[in-house]
A and B are shown apart, each in its own frame.
Chain A
């Protein structure tokens, strides 16, 4: 375990040495038998942007939660600006000048921006004076950092990019000098992400220190001055960003050479399997989620649907998967119409040969309290092979089937009697993938297949998807990870605001163009 401290990275040229903004010595934290952080030491220079990378479960969030007072470390010391601090709760963290922008925003949606900013930092029992003070401060902050938001807007009605600004304003209102951002760009369009980094650079210019937790290696390269790598609870390295590369970082994260590209042979698309015309979806709040969508999907190809989360991709998957009704439009499979009315259901879809790996495996793809063998049959539990007499299940057949899947997909631990909640994210996803692929669908709908999945399982799942394509199946792949879309798809469409912005072949486009389309900046009329 090499800990190289390069405190020179990013420090402005000054005569006297400034103490590092943050210094951690030997931080450890365990949750029961799980050692989330093991003897972590880290130094972050003042006025720099420092990145922290690591796989899911490497311990990044735990470490930051300790810094923010959410958890208390079992051992170790924290120094802020050279002074030892004891961060017992968020008050202490705020007092030490630390502000945190969480991955899942800590906002009260029915409240206004002002109320959200002020909550917990009020002056006195009555609200009016606090709100007035906040209004004035927000105005100033908007001028200083390009962080303008309407103070009286209802947070729930703001776009995700603006909601994030509210989070940053909260921290600045409490006079944070150190800002921690946890996976900030997961829900932003490339344009919004650019704006965010501009804001961060403004903050850095004013002497603020920023910690960026992200798994997006390209962001590390673009935005940070230094980066720490965490693996399995330990901080393995801290280096200057200009001395590394994405491939280098990926290898450090996992500990071995990682294939960031997927090797595949060119596609050989066959007949049209799925035809979508004029699909419209209006949700329960009356918001148009899908506007006049037209798509065709052929056998033996992977159609990638790119886009920032929340632009209609989920609704598209849900309608095709039979979980949601369409407001209007026609979907045909192999020439015959599919029922997209409220009477449709997912069982009928499966009967037609449409499989679905859902975006949310925790709430949809699996019943977390069911055992692996029960989950392996979820959605297919009424198959003739599983039927017993008098309405009973043939549970022996179900268990055997599950054992087979476990073996073929290398699901660990190989115990079909374990509850789904006891498997890691990657293995949980493998259960879902195994189930849907082995049902031999003609069309497979896939949503965020590798979210929260470790790199080893990602490779496996990508291979499985390619195999399925090569076997002549049609695949609709929805993912917010542009890399995944670019490497797997044979054709790419981009969705923004419920509309397909255009179609490209992966070899004819690049991230910049796709990013612009994802932000709605390029729109083409339908072919």
Chain B
């Protein structure tokens, strides 16, 4: 498509406008249920950036970076991976199995092993929908949604059955002390900087940041990335170029599932330190909004993930102060962001493009 838009307008202006629209509608919903949207916004920002809140904001951001990257990588191969929720959930099983397997001497070793376990399980859960899509033409959107639902049943089964800790609660045993990850507080304390002790943000944050860099290198600088993008743009051209659609689809989805799986490091290993029901708490779905908002670019994903982190943490505060606004508000905003950055994108893009074309044509 011939882009008459300058690059900054394409990457920054339009996403910002889309976001503004989404927030506007969200504000209207807030008004509809009888609350003050501006005060709500204020509470959100306060809750997100307060000393006792910023840690949580970063914790959520970490989650969304992983799931956002997962969706973004798959998107480059034109695969719509809605299964991040299920993949992250099953990865939790992998992480739990690894952590519970030995009495880990040091967290760094446990971390590496758990990362492998999480990525393996996450990728594995993405493998079947990927294969069916590439080989049988089964629409990956529907199959991944189904796998999300199947995952929930499976984990339910595991946590009241084979993996259940002694007692009545549907959860696994707690992980050994050797598998306990240092929180940001712990890490900063080493260099003498104070930080909120209660915040669950941990070393996974840095893994997430590293993942952003690696994804960037992968998609735009590597040979695999070339093939991924080629397939995403045109399957016929990819086949002509000797690229195997099956192979690249599988690889893209396995990487995607693995990235979603890393979320379990942050939540299951870093925070809960045991496996519980619904450990993902909708983060997989937020990843879709994050990827769309971030235009499938790691930097955009990072920023969008941070934004949603703010919304999540600020939203908790908000729910506290304004009982009318529950957790579901985030889901609503999620839906609106996906709508405005995804399907209704041209609502903003078309007029802005027209405006720029008209400005360009102005005689000197």
Please name all residues of chain B whose beta carbon is closer than 8 Å to the beta carbon of A457 when the two chains form the complex. none
Please determine whether B242 and A370 come into contact, CB atoms closer than 8 angstroms: no
User: Chain B nearest CB: distance from A366 CB in Å?
Assistant: 7
Q: Does A368 contact B (CB under 8 A)?
A: yes
Per-residue A-contact encoding for B40-66, CB less than 8 Å = 1, 0 else: 000000000000000000000000000
Find chain B residues with CB under 8 A from A347 CB.
241-243
Checking A350, A369, A391 against B242 with a beta-carbon cut-off of 8 angstroms, the contacting residue is A350
- Residues from chain B with a CB closer than 8 A to the CB of A369 are 233-234
Residues A378 and B221 in contact, CB atoms below 8 Å apart: no
User: What range describes how many residues of A lie at the interface?
Assistant: 35 or more
Q: How far is the CB of A391 from chain B (nearest CB, A)?
A: 5
A323 within 8 A of B: yes
**A11 interface residue (CB < 8 Å to B):** no
Distance of B354 from chain A, by nearest CB (Å): 10
For the complex, give the distance between the alpha carbons of A356 and B240 in Å.
9
Q: With A369-B233, A392-B217 known to touch, is A378 a contact of B239 (CB < 8 Å)?
A: no
Across the interface, do A393 and B242 meet the contact criterion of CB distance under 8 Å?
no
Quick check: is B226 within 8 A (CB to CB) of the other chain? yes
Report A387-408 CB contacts with B as 1/0, cut-off 8 Å.
Answer: 1100111010000000000000
Contact between B226 and A365 (Cβ–Cβ < 8 Å)? no
**Digit string of A329-369 for contact with B (CB within 8 Å is 1, else 0)?**
00000000000000001111110000010101001111111
Q: Does B297 contact A (CB under 8 A)?
A: no
Residues of B within 8 A of A392 (CB): 217, 221-223
Contact of B239 among A33, A346, A348 (CB under 8 A): A346
Question: What residues of B have a CB within 8 angstroms of the CB of A381 in the complex?
Answer: 223, 226-227, 241
Expressed in whole angstroms, the minimum distance between the Cβ of A368 and any Cβ of chain B is 7
B2 beta carbon closer than 8 Å to chain A: yes
A422–B222 alpha-carbon span in the complex (Å): 25
Q: Chain A contacts of B224 at CB under 8 A?
A: 391
**Complex formed: what's the CA distance from A452 to B234 in Å?**
20
In contact, A366 and B237 (Cβ under 8 angstroms): yes
Query: Quick check: is A7 within 8 A (CB to CB) of the other chain?
Result: no
Chain B positions within 8 Å of A346 at CB level: 239-242
For B240, give its contact among A33, A368, A379 (CB under 8 Å).
Answer: A379
Contacts of B223 in A (CB 8 A): 381-382, 386-387, 391-393
Query: What is the total of A-B residue contacts with beta carbons within 8 Å?
Result: 77
* A323-B233 in contact given A392-B223, A393-B221, A422-B2 (Cβ < 8 Å): no
Contact (Cβ within 8 A) A365 B229: no
In the assembly, what is the distance between CA of A422 and CA of B361, in Å?
19
Contacts of A33 in B (CB 8 A): 361
The CA of A347 and the CA of B238, in the complex, are separated in Å by: 10
Name the residue among B2, B221, B229 with the largest chain A CB count within 10 angstroms: B221
Contacts of B357 in A (CB 8 A): 32
B233 A367 Cβ-Cβ under 8 A: yes
Query: Quick check: A378 and B237 within 8 Å, CB to CB?
Result: yes
Nearest residue, chain A, Cβ from B231: A367
* A363 close to B236 (CB less than 8 A): yes
Closest to A366 in B: B237
Contact A348 B242, CB 8 Å, known A32-B357, A360-B236:
yes
Check A322 for interface membership: any CB of B closer than 8 A: yes
Alpha-carbon separation in the docked complex, A393 to B222 (Å): 5
Is B1 part of the binding interface, using a Cβ–Cβ cutoff of 8 Å?
A: yes
Instruction: Compute how far the CA of A382 lies from the CA of B247 in the bound complex, rounded to whole angstroms.
Output: 16
The answer to whether the Cβ of A167 comes within 8 Å of any Cβ in the partner chain is no
* Residues of B contacting A395 in the complex (Cβ-Cβ under 8 angstroms): 221
Which residue of the partner chain B has the closest CB to A422?
B2
- Secondary structure at the B interface, as helix, strand, loop or mixed, is helix
Query: A441 interface residue, CB < 8 Å from B?
Result: no
In this complex, which of A367, A387, A421 has the most chain B Cβ atoms within 10 angstroms of its Cβ?
Answer: A367
**A321 within 8 Å of B by Cβ?**
yes
Report whether B240 and A391 are in contact in the complex, using a CB–CB cutoff of 8 Å: no
| B229 and A370 within 8 A (CB) | yes
Tell yes or no: B198 within 8 A of A by CB.
Answer: no
Inside 8 A of A379's CB, which chain B residues have their CB?
240-242
Residue of B nearest to A324 (CB): B239
A364: contacting residue among B229, B237, B361, CB under 8 A: B237
Of A360, A379, A387, most buried by chain B (CB within 10 Å of CB) is A379
Residues in A neighbouring B242, C-beta threshold 8 A: 322, 345-350, 379
Residues of B within 8 A of A370 (CB): 229-230, 233
Tell me the smallest distance from the CB of A248 to a CB of chain B, in Å: 36
Contact (Cβ within 8 A) A421 B222: no
Q: Which of B223, B241, B243 has the most CB of A within 10 A?
A: B241
Q: Name the residue on B nearest A378 (C-beta).
A: B241
A442 within 8 A of B: no
Tell me, yes or no, whether A374 is within 8 Å of chain B by CB: yes
Please, which residue of chain B has its CB at the minimum distance from the CB of A32? B357
Measured in the bound complex, the distance between the Cα atoms of B240 and A367 in whole Å is: 10
Answer yes or no: B244 CB below 8 A from chain A CBs.
Answer: yes
A98 to chain B minimum Cβ distance, whole angstroms, is 32
B32 to chain A, nearest CB (A): 41
| Residue from the list A32, A356, A367, A386 in contact with B237, Cβ < 8 A | A367
Give the residues in chain B near A349, CB-CB below 8 Å: 242
Least CB distance, A394 to chain B, in whole angstroms? 10
- The docked-state distance in angstroms from the alpha carbon of A99 to that of B234 is 36
Instruction: Give A422 to B4 CA distance when docked, in angstroms.
Output: 11
In the complex, the answer to whether B239 meets A363 with C-beta atoms within 8 Å is no
Q: Which residues of B contact A378 (CB under 8 A)?
A: 230, 237, 240-241
User: In angstroms, how far is the closest chain A Cβ from the Cβ of B111?
Assistant: 22
Q: How far is the CA of A497 from the CA of B242 in the complex (A)?
A: 28
Task: Write the nearest CB–CB distance from B214 to chain A, whole angstroms.
Answer: 11
Given A381-B223, A392-B217: A421 touches B1 (CB 8 Å cut-off):
yes
Residues of B close to A322: CB separation below 8 A: 242
B residues less than 8 Å from A32 (CB atoms): 357
List, in ascending order, chain A residues with CB within 8 A of B244's CB: 345
Which residue of A323, A363, A393 contacts B234 across the interface (Cβ within 8 Å)?
A363
Max chain B C-beta neighbours (<10 A), residue from A347, A386, A387, A392: A392
Instruction: Kindly state the separation between the CA atoms of A392 and B1 in the bound complex, as whole angstroms.
Output: 28
Are the CB atoms of B221 and A364 closer together than 8 Å?
no
A346–B361 alpha-carbon span in the complex (Å): 46
- Which residues of B (302-347) have their CB < 8 Å from a CB of A? none
Interface residues of A (CB under 8 A from B): 32-33, 321-323, 345-350, 356, 358, 360, 363-370, 374, 378-379, 381-382, 386-388, 391-393, 395, 421-422
**Closest CB pairs A-B (n = 7):** A347-B242, A379-B241, A346-B242, A364-B240, A363-B236, A369-B233, A367-B237
Sample of 27 A–B contacts (CB below 8 Å): A321-B240, A323-B240, A345-B242, A346-B239, A346-B241, A347-B241, A347-B242, A349-B242, A350-B242, A356-B240, A360-B236, A364-B234, A364-B239, A365-B240, A366-B237, A367-B233, A367-B234, A367-B237, A369-B233, A374-B226, A378-B241, A379-B242, A381-B226, A386-B223, A387-B223, A388-B221, A395-B221
- Starting from the known contacts A363-B234, A367-B237, 10 additional A-B residue pairs (CB-CB under 8 Å) come to A323-B239, A345-B244, A350-B242, A356-B240, A363-B236, A367-B229, A367-B238, A368-B234, A379-B241, A386-B223
